[in-house]
Amino acid sequence: MKAILLTFIKIYWLLVPEKRRRKCLFKTSCSHYVYQQTKENGIQKGLKALRFRMQNCNSNYQIIEVDGEKILVTKTSKLFREKDLNEFILKK
């Protein structure tokens, strides 16, 4: 199962040119993040990462500033503080 997901991601990378892919909200693209999680931690973690990214990563987000701290609000109303974003640091 793990090999199937990793192969599917590799095929996606081959078939869809980077220019045509949706721009990812996070520094590490969704497909690269899911690939990395699957390869390092197994299929369960990979599928969990895929689900999280599919639910939260799109252009429908807001960045608000509260007391000088930037907070990311995703389309599912999850909040990420700037200091807690380490691997989720925004490209912007």
Sequence letter at residue 50: L
The full set of domain ranges for the chain reads 2-88
Mean pLDDT of 82-90: 59
Instruction: Quote the pTM value.
Output: 0.69
Q: Residue 47 is encoded by which pair of tokens?
A: 């599928």
Q: Which residue has the higher pLDDT, 9 or 71?
A: 9
Closest CA to 69 of 78, 86, 82, 87: 82
Mean pLDDT of 29-50: 93
Closest CA to 64 of 55, 72, 75: 72
Question: What 3-state class would DSSP assign to 85?
Answer: coil
